[in-house]
Amino acid sequence: MKERSPLKLNTELRFTNRVGGSMHFVVGNVIGLRGSCIVYDGYYLNNTGSRSTVRIKECYPYKLHLTRNQRDS
């Protein structure tokens, strides 16, 4: 896990579902950094504009050699 570096605070993650809907999550503090994953506190804005707290888990399955580029993609 030494080569794994956490995402920067306030990084925005965008996901699109099969029907074209999208969700935007904002990465907070790292709360766990272990063998095959990094866990962050995070949030998204719900329909009313209020923050909803979430846990975001970034996984690195063993032997897949996943990496991020310099733009954290």
* pLDDT at residue 3 tops 80: no
Over the chain, what HEC string results?
CCCCCCCCCCCEEEEECCCCCEEEEEEEEEEEEECCEEEEEEEEECCCCCEEEEEEEEECCCCCCCCCCCCCC
Is residue 49 one of the residues assigned to a domain?
yes
Is residue 7 one of the residues assigned to a domain?
no
Is residue 32 one of the residues assigned to a domain?
yes
Predicted confidence (pLDDT) per residue in 6-38, tens digit: 889 999 999 888 888 888 999 999 999 887 889
* pLDDT at residue 62 tops 70: no
Q: Which domain holds residue 53?
A: 12-59
Q: What is the pTM of this model?
A: 0.75
How many domains is the chain partitioned into structurally?
A: 1
Is residue 5 one of the residues assigned to a domain?
no
Is residue 51 one of the residues assigned to a domain?
yes
User: What pLDDT, on a 0 to 100 scale, did the predictor assign at position 70?
Assistant: 72
Is residue 33 one of the residues assigned to a domain?
yes
Is residue 64 one of the residues assigned to a domain?
no
